[in-house]
């Protein structure tokens, strides 16, 4: 491949010297006053490169690496999408209001676990009646498979799924089928393996959240940390034609600046949407029950388009299943279900026995439409965070599954289905990892066992997340939909979604 002069840049205010390694050759870099190091080097379009910081001989990947073909610890690779790949010139997008989402994990949605294999199943989603495909995180992680929430290189796409070209093919195929694409992104923490950001600059603060060290969003040097997030989000929209982002656990983003990073993202997304002339949607996951996320900026909110609503899930699940453990304790009565369906949040300035305090704030319907709340009977969390990853179909009968489906699909909220839910899949969705480091692998497995031992589960019952069979068990069985019991449930879901399309009062926001 022919070489041409290329610019390599990296923000690294911490080291006193940064050098560029391109295919094994070291080049000097020049720093500016803002901590950006630059070098212009002749290199092929697929060159492998990385950075050498001070006296450490290790070659570290680019924090904005577009591709990691050899793993998250190895050199980055230059990469640009082929513009001829795209055939969606006429795609005008979809608004969230009136939509139906379908959450899936690329690695377990099909036996092959790739973007290309998922393309072959899009007809099933179209026939079902969904309009948005939401894929769990696909950015680069260490190991061959996991849920995706331990990513360390946010700009790269996991190679085992098909890399950046595979993702582009998937998005293009979805658009050809009339499906919008939601990408799950994680900006509140990084995974434990392959995270080198602290060596470059002040990416982290002293505080920590549930999953690791907090990102520096409001301290000295936070401007470039925020730009890492903002530029990444905008890249998915512009370069990969993504239609919406699901922002993982935004309650873990600690930002005390006057303009929260989420509001800043909403502003820049709206600007890009006007330029691209198609809807671009931001959907938050938060456990705060705070309507500020989806309240318009003109009314003092952040201006996001939607947020997951766990209260709807809890109210429906507890009422139908009878489970009352943990956070289900306040739910389960028909009054709780009615309250949640009427006002969106059950805990809206009310006492939460699970938290031991007052929780949430009431939604003002003048500013927040019902369509801004996403409702579901199950998600990857609500299944995978159970001890054995058992789906509701493992302990509820078909009538109960149909009741749950009707309550969500005919609700005033934007409904979401978790992969396989529509046919009552008998396969579990368990917590799985593939950490190559023995110590990390052992700590992950022991931590999982310890977590559930506190609730009476034996170590033999809790699947080892590092066991490859835990991952393989979680793959959907596509022979199931043809069987009578499963076919009836699919027909039920299709009928409910048809009714939702045909009756405008159901989707009236």
**Active-site residue set:** 248, 285
Q: How is 61-129 classified by DSSP, letter by letter?
A: PPTT-S--TT-TTS-EE-----GGG---TT-----STT--EEEE-HHHHSSS-SHHHHHTTHHHHHHHT
* Partners of 494 in the β-ladder: none
The secondary element (H helix, E strand) that includes residue 238 is: helix 222-238
Burial of 392 (0-12, 13-18, 19+ CB in 10 A): buried
Q: How is 166-223 classified by DSSP, letter by letter?
A: HHHHHHHHHHHTT-EEEEEE--S---SSS--HHHHS--EEEEE-SSSEEE-SSSTTHH
Cα distance between residue 101 and residue 231, in whole Å: 25
User: 316-324 contacts: CB < 8 A, separation 24 or more?
Assistant: 316/377, 316/404, 316/407, 316/408, 317/377, 317/378, 317/382, 317/392, 317/404, 320/396, 320/400, 320/403, 320/404, 320/407, 321/392, 321/395, 321/396, 321/400
Residue 142, token pair as written in the block: 């260490």
Residue 228, token pair as written in the block: 């890492």
Cα distance between residue 278 and residue 269, in whole Å: 11
3-state class (DSSP) for residue 358: strand
């Amino acid at each position: 491949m022919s070489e041409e002069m290329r610019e390599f840049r990296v923000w690294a205010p911490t080291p006193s010297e940064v050098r560029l390694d391109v295919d094994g050759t070291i080049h000097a870099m020049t720093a500016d006053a803002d901590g950006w190091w630059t070098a212009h080097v002749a290199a092929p379009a697929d060159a492998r490169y990385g950075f050498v910081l001070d006296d450490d001989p290790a070659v570290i990947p680019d924090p904005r690496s577009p591709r990691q073909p050899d793993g998250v610890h190895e050199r980055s690779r230059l990469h640009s999408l082929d513009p001829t790949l795209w055939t969606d010139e006429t795609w005008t997008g979809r608004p969230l209001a009136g939509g139906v989402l379908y959450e899936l994990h690329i690695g377990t949605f099909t036996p092959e676990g790739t973007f290309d294999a998922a393309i072959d199943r899009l007809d099933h989603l179209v026939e079902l009646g969904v309009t948005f495909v939401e894929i769990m995180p696909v950015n680069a992680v260490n190991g061959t498979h996991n849920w995706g929430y331990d990513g360390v290189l946010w700009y790269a796409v996991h190679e085992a799924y098909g890399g950046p070209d595979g993702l582009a093919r998937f998005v293009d195929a979805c658009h050809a089928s009339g499906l919008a694409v939601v990408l799950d992104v994680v900006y509140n923490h990084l995974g434990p393996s392959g995270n080198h950001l602290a060596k470059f600059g002040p990416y982290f603060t002293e505080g920590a959240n549930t999953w690791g060290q907090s990102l520096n969003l409001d301290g000295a040097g936070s401007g470039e940390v925020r730009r890492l997030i903002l530029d990444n989000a905008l890249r998915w929209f512009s370069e990969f034609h993504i239609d919406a982002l699901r922002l993982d656990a935004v309650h873990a983003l600690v930002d005390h600046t006057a303009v929260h990073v989420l509001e800043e993202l909403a502003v820049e997304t709206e600007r890009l949407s006007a330029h691209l002339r198609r809807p671009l949607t931001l959907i938050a996951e938060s456990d705060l029950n705070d309507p500020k996320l989806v309240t318009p900026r003109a009314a003092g909110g952040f201006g996001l388009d939607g947020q997951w609503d766990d209260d709807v899930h809890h109210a429906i699940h507890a009422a139908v299943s009878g489970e009352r453990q943990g956070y289900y304790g306040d739910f389960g009565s028909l009054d709780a279900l009615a309250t949640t369906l009427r006002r969106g949040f059950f805990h809206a300035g009310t006492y939460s026995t699970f938290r031991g305090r007052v929780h949430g704030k009431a939604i003002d319907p003048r500013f927040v439409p019902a369509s801004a709340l996403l409702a579901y009977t199950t998600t990857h969390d609500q299944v995978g965070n159970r001890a054995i990853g058992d789906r509701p179909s493992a302990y509820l009968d078909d009538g109960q599954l149909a009741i749950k489906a009707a309550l969500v699909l005919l609700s005033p909220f934007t409904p979401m289905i978790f992969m396989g839910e529509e046919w009552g899949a008998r396969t579990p969705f368990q917590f799985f990892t593939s950490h190559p480091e023995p110590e990390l692998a052992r700590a992950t497995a022991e931590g999982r066992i310890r977590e559930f031992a506190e609730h009476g589960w034996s170590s033999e019952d809790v699947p080892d997340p590092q066991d490859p069979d835990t991952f393989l068990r979680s793959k959907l069985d596509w022979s199931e939909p043809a069987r009578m019991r499963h076919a009836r449930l699919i027909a039920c879901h299709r009928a409910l979604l048809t009714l939702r399309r045909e009756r405008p009062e159901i989707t009236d926001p």
